[in-house]
Structure 1
């Protein structure tokens, strides 16, 4: 589990960069020294609640964003674990994999990939979650530091606001990808 200082450092830098602010500008808006911001982004220092609150206000994010653990770890559903198989008496089975939260924005993509160079993606906007259902082939998908091998019918959700990868392992690999921003 990531320690609090490391989590604050990673999150503070990500939020500052997402806001397009320099260290100096963030320090000015928060009313703290530039050295303090640099130390916190470097994983050193011992910030008070007041300091973190001021940084959150300056960045336009709640205090909890700077200190909370990631709320949604990767979620995997294997095709073999989905109940219900189409038959003559019930030729259609629909299984809800992930309900849309209120006010979410979603983009849906059809992915077609061949083995070779993986598709490495930088983090998207904060709050992005990606959902992948593999249609054909085989692929390594998900967080860059811990991708999951998917086979046809498997579903995986993972944080899209962290570095992630899609790497086809077999020719003719295809998937549906839904990018969701909350």
Structure 2
């Protein structure tokens, strides 16, 4: 009970200072309107507006809803310094993964969920003989495949290129594309997919 009171007291101190500015700054960083943040958090638009103007002291539950919608911890929302560092750690066990149909290629999703609609990146491990066949992404999308260990092969529209260790292939992924490990040893790579890119002519 004392711990809970301590949290509430700390929150009250923070609320008297920079909370409103912090909420507003985080909202603008994500290019969210008041209405969009209200929809995502379940907190009324009028309440969020009052919080940003430091005209009200929200409950801890309200702060929690806003922090969830802004994908930050309550501690960060309550932070009083605008230049506080942002560090988010995700353990290997908590990192989501995708597996190719043949089970030989694993993609650990190391990208941020907030950018998934326009920027995705993965840590790729491909066993010998592994093949990852992907459908076309939206028009203008580009994929960058950087091989860290071993050798990979990429095929796009009938064109096949081999990528050695240390090399990078950039290619249109708005058409069917395939990544293969035709070597005899496992390969590892970083793959970045840029969606909503400028359409290439």
- Shorter chain as denominator, the TM-score bin is 0.3 to 0.5
Computing the radius of gyration from Cα coordinates, the structure with the larger value is 2
Greater relative CO, 1 or 2 (CA 8 Å, sep 6+): 1
Q: TM-score, normalised by structure 2?
A: 0.37
